[in-house]
Amino acid sequence: MSRALKHDIPGADRRIGEGDVRAKGWAAIFGDDADAARPLVVEIGFGRGEFLIDLALAAPATPHVGVEYSTKRVLKMARRLARAAVANVRLLDCTGEIVVHDLLAPASVQEFWINFPDPWPKKRHHRRRLLQPEMVRALAERLVASGSLHVATDHEGYADAIDAALAGEPLLENAFAPAPFLRDVPGRRATAYEVEWRAEGRPMHFWHYRRCAA
């Protein structure tokens, strides 16, 4: 028997809409909950949310944005944030493409985290994959100088496409060079899905690229 989804928020509701960002801007949206002078940390596709919460707790003065195209996941995450009293996070029920292209200004992001995006394994669906060359360019443009783009996947086919898109972007440099990617990153927090997929023997791929300083 499935459990009924709870819609009440036991505390402050950290969800926002596209219109809020367009009308107010990020500084007003975070208010006193984070330092408006700091660039954003953005996780696209936060899943169950444990990774984003850890990021936010480790840097309580930094504004964090969680993006997820699932109303159910956003609602569950809003409840978790309220219970944990994590103030420096805002949640968007939105696609990553809309957030990056329409809601983030150039040089406004310190870090992007994209953990295990949908691989869309069927060839006819590859155009739906998030990490296309044009999206990588948009991500790079929104990073501050030396800002970071972190990507992870467990899908071999998608890994090849991600690697090509990242390596082909002249605004980015590989922080793991000369290795194209790593199978394990010391000190990196594993997501809940990663733990499950490692137990199944799936291969991990982790990239870390930085915005070129000049």
Please name the residue ranges forming H helices in the chain: 18-24, 26-30, 50-58, 71-84, 96-98, 133-142, 156-167, 192-199
Using alpha carbons, select from 194, 204, 213 the residue that is nearest to residue 48.
194
Going from the C-alpha of 171 to that of each of 37, 75, 168, 179, the distances in angstroms are: 24, 35, 9, 18
Interatomic CA distance for residues 96 and 117, integer angstroms:
10
The most distant pair of C-alpha atoms in the chain lies apart, rounded to whole Å, by 56
Q: Is 118 a catalytic residue?
A: yes
Kindly state the tokens that stand for 93. 């029920």
- The catalytic position among 8, 13, 118, 184 is 118
Task: Give catalytic residues, as residue numbers.
Answer: 118
